[in-house]
Structure 1
Amino acid sequence: MGECSNTGIVIQMQDYSIHDGDGVRTTIFLAGCNLRCQWCANPESWTTKSKLVFYRHKCVGCMKCANVCPMDLVPCNMERPNDICTACGKCVAVCAQKALDIACTEKSVDTLVKKIERDALFFRYSGGGVTFSGGEPFLQHKFMRVLLNRFEELGIESWVETCGYFDFEAVQDLLPKFSHIFFDLKHMDSEKHKEFTGCGNEIILENAIKVYQTGVPMTIRIPTIVEVNISDDNIEKTAQFIKENLPKANVELLPYHGLGKAKYISLGIEEKFIDFTTPTATQIQHAYEIFKKNGIDVIEYR
Structure 2
Amino acid sequence: MERKKKGGVKVIFNIQKCSIHDGEGLRTLVFFKGCPLKCKWCANPESQNYDEEIMESPVRCVGCGACRDACPKGAILEDGSIDRTLCDNCMKCIDVCYAEAKKITGRAYTTEELYKEIEKDRPFYSRFGGGVTFSGGEPLTHGQQLRDIAEMCHEKGIHVVVESCGYGDFEKFKMALPYIDAMFMDIKHIDTAVHKELTGAGNALILNNIKKISEYGIPLTIRTPIVPGLTDREENITGIAKFVAELPTAKEYELLAYHSFGESKYKALGRKYSLEGTETPSDKKMRELVKAGNRILSEYGKQCCWTKNNNKEVVK
1:273 aligns with 2:274: yes
The CA deviation at 1:300 is: 5.2
- Contact 1:9/1:107 (<8 A) preserved: yes
Report the more deviating stretch, 135-144 or 167-176. 167-176
Q: Which runs of 4+ in 1 moved over 2 A?
A: 62-98, 244-249, 271-278, 291-294, 298-302
CA deviations 1:261-297 (Å, max 9, x no partner) are 111000011x243233421101111111122222132
- Whole-angstrom CA distance in 1 between matches of 2:122 and 2:78: 39
* TM-score, length-scaled by structure 1: 0.90
Return 5+ residue gaps in structure 1 as ranges.
Answer: none
One-letter amino acid of the structure 2 residue matched with residue 255 of structure 1: A
- Contact 2:74/2:86 (<8 A) preserved: no
Instruction: State how many pairs are aligned.
Output: 297
**Partner secondary structure for residue 49 of structure 2:** coil
The CA deviation at 1:182 is: 0.3
Aligned residue number for residue 214 of structure 1: 216
**Partner secondary structure for residue 152 of structure 2:** helix
- Contact 1:80/1:267 (<8 A) preserved: no
Question: Are residues 273 and 11 of structure 1, via their aligned partners in 2, closer, same or farther at CA, if it must alter by over 3 Å?
Answer: farther
Aligned residue runs from structure 1 range 101-112, under 5 A = 101-112=103-114
The structure 1 residue matched to 2:251, chosen from 241, 249, 261, is 249
Question: Are residues 82 and 26 of structure 1, via their aligned partners in 2, closer, same or farther at CA, if it must alter by over 3 Å?
Answer: farther
Aligned residue number for residue 122 of structure 2: 120
Return 5+ residue gaps in structure 2 as ranges.
Answer: 1-6, 311-316
Q: CA RMSD in A?
A: 2.1
One-letter amino acid of the structure 2 residue matched with residue 155 of structure 1: G
Aligned residue number for residue 185 of structure 1: 187
1:297 aligns with 2:303: yes
- Whole-angstrom CA distance in 2 between matches of 1:232 and 1:178: 32
One-letter amino acid of the structure 2 residue matched with residue 232 of structure 1: E
Larger relative contact order (C-alpha < 8 A, sep ≥ 6)?
1
- Contact 1:235/1:290 (<8 A) preserved: yes
Question: Are residues 36 and 78 of structure 1, via their aligned partners in 2, closer, same or farther at CA, if it must alter by over 3 Å?
Answer: farther
The CA deviation at 1:169 is: 1.7
Percent pairwise identity: 36
The CA deviation at 1:186 is: 0.6
- Contact 1:181/1:218 (<8 A) preserved: yes
- Contact 1:56/1:76 (<8 A) preserved: no
One-letter amino acid of the structure 1 residue matched with residue 145 of structure 2: F
Question: Are residues 141 and 171 of structure 1, via their aligned partners in 2, closer, same or farther at CA, if it must alter by over 3 Å?
Answer: same
Question: Are residues 31 and 151 of structure 1, via their aligned partners in 2, closer, same or farther at CA, if it must alter by over 3 Å?
Answer: same
The CA deviation at 1:74 is: 2.7
Aligned residue number for residue 146 of structure 1: 148
**Partner secondary structure for residue 245 of structure 1:** coil
The CA deviation at 1:97 is: 2.9
**Partner secondary structure for residue 37 of structure 1:** coil
